[in-house]
């Protein structure tokens, strides 16, 4: 990241954040927005100082900022409590303007340009749109600007939304090959039990692997302003660590939260998975919403586990309305998820060739398609990310 101005005497962080090259900073609504007074300017200014400092450390910084709905609520004078979908869309439409202005001003005062990116689920789930969004973000970083990302809540409906910026931040991190994702919210880290309910609960400083025990520690509690609770943070950690990035859950309540993390403030660090899978597999593994499913016979399941591609002959059925290149779930006959993969055929054509030998494809379809229905390079088995259809 290039700084236009900046204080010459400071030379970046030297603590725990010193070696990271690309960092996604997720900011929760409860930190940024006071329900009565609006944007917490002083807090945001101090965070912008931290971001500039990360830049001097040599890192590219991306922000994923919540707060559109919370700010819009105030602008439109909406009452507290749960909003209807159309109310939150209207709130986001007004609040996002205020949110972007606040970021542009705070970063601008520190010599940094802000670039607004509003994403919908399809922008990370469909490969063509994903590549497009990734290219825009990469260009912003090249020009030294700080991408400020949020979900495009004005057009997102319940069916097609991330819903929480924790997972969005992890997806954005995967998209740009970030090596660290910082989730700043009003919780200090992952506790062995919800601290409000269990006074003996202790914070876990380091998570090497996200085991079922770790998942069990995450309670569903969130704050009134933000959508994400501990569970969405653990989901985010699975996506980010599976893609080879570290993830930190830390409190952002005090001023300069990033400087505090650098200085060793207690929080929870999730280690990146040991062997980062290739970018393509990573992207596939992080899919939240596959377009369909293929159900395999037992022989094909065994072949896939041995690292083979999926041939039409081993497929018992296909479901959904996918097109060539879409991500589909790969299931065994009992319905258990084996993994995810990019399918080489539209659903209509896939239906015609399942159960058949690859050399029959040309006769069946009238063109010579790929002999694999899902190539092994286009497949991520043992995916950790929870899928929306399993909620």
Query: Residue numbers of the site for ligand GLU (CB under 6 A)?
Result: 29, 66-70, 92, 150-151, 153, 164-165, 226-228
CB-based contacts of 2: which residues, under 8 Å, 6+ apart?
A: 55, 144
Closest separation between CB of residue 357 and ligand GLU, Å? 49
The token pair that represents 317 in the structure block: 């059925």
Closer CB to ligand GLU, 134 or 233, in the complex: 233
Angle at Cα 275 formed by Cα 272 and Cα 280, nearest 5°?
95
- Angstrom CA distances, 13 to 56, 179, 185, 266, stand at 8, 16, 21, 17
Cβ–Cβ under 8 Å, residues 284 and 378: yes
Closer CB to ligand GLU, 189 or 228, in the complex: 228
Closer CB to ligand GLU, 25 or 52, in the complex: 25
Closer CB to ligand GLU, 227 or 238, in the complex: 227
Closest separation between CB of residue 219 and ligand GLU, Å? 17
Helix axis angle, 85-108 to 41-57, nearest 10°: 60
Closest separation between CB of residue 48 and ligand GLU, Å? 18
Closer CB to ligand GLU, 228 or 244, in the complex: 228
How far is it, in rounded angstroms, from Cα 220 to Cα 229? 6
Closer CB to ligand GLU, 18 or 85, in the complex: 85
DSSP 278: P
Closer CB to ligand GLU, 33 or 311, in the complex: 33
Closest separation between CB of residue 389 and ligand GLU, Å? 20
**Total Cβ atoms within 10 A of residue 360:** 14
Closest separation between CB of residue 235 and ligand GLU, Å? 12
Closest separation between CB of residue 51 and ligand GLU, Å? 18
Cβ–Cβ under 8 Å, residues 334 and 316: no
Dihedral angle of Cα 189, 56, 254, 30, to the nearest 10 degrees: -70
- Residue position matching structure tokens 């601290």: 195
Closest separation between CB of residue 72 and ligand GLU, Å? 8
Q: Which secondary structure element, helix H or strand E, spans residue 266, and what is its range?
A: none
């Amino acid at each position: 990241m290039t700084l236009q101005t900046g204080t010459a005497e400071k030379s970046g962080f030297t603590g725990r954040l010193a070696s990271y090259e690309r960092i996604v900073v997720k900011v929760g609504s409860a930190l940024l927005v006071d329900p009565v007074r609006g944007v917490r300017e002083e807090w945001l200014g101090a965070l912008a100082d931290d971001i500039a400092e990360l830049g001097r450390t040599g890192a590219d910084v991306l922000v994923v900022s919540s707060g559109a709905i919370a700010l819009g609520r105030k602008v439109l004078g909406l009452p507290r409590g749960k909003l209807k979908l159309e109310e939150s869309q209207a709130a986001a439409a007004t609040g996002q303007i205020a949110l972007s202005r606040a970021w542009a001003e705070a970063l601008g005062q520190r010599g940094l340009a802000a670039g607004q990116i509003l994403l919908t689920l399809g922008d990370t789930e469909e490969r063509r749109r994903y590549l497009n969004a990734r290219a825009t973000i990469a260009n912003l970083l090249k020009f030294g600007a700080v991408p400020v990302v949020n979900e495009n809540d004005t057009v997102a409906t319940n069916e097609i939304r991330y819903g929480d910026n924790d997972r969005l931040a992890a997806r954005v991190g995967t998209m740009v090959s970030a090596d660290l994702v910082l989730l700043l919210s009003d919780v200090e880290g992952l506790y062995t039990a919800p601290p409000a309910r269990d006074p003996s609960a202790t914070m876990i400083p380091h998570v090497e692997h996200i085991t079922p025990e770790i998942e069990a520690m995450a309670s569903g509690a969130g704050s009134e302003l933000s959508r994400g609770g501990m569970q969405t943070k653990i989901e985010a950690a699975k996506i980010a660590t599976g893609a080879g990035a570290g993830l930190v859950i830390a409190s952002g309540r005090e001023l300069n939260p990033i400087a505090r993390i650098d200085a060793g403030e207690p929080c929870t660090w999730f280690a990146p998975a040991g062997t980062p899978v290739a970018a393509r597999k990573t992207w596939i593994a992080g899919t939240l919403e596959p377009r369909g499913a293929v159900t395999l016979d037992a022989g094909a399941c065994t072949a896939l586990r041995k690292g083979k591609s999926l041939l039409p002959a081993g497929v018992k059925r296909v479901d959904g309305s996918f097109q060539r290149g879409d991500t589909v779930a790969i299931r065994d006959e009992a319905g258990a998820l084996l993994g995810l993969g990019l399918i080489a055929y539209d659903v209509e054509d896939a239906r015609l060739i399942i159960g058949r030998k690859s050399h029959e494809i040309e006769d069946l379809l009238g063109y010579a398609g790929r002999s694999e229905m899902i190539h092994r390079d286009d497949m991520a088995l043992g995916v950790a990310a929870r899928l929306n259809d399993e909620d």
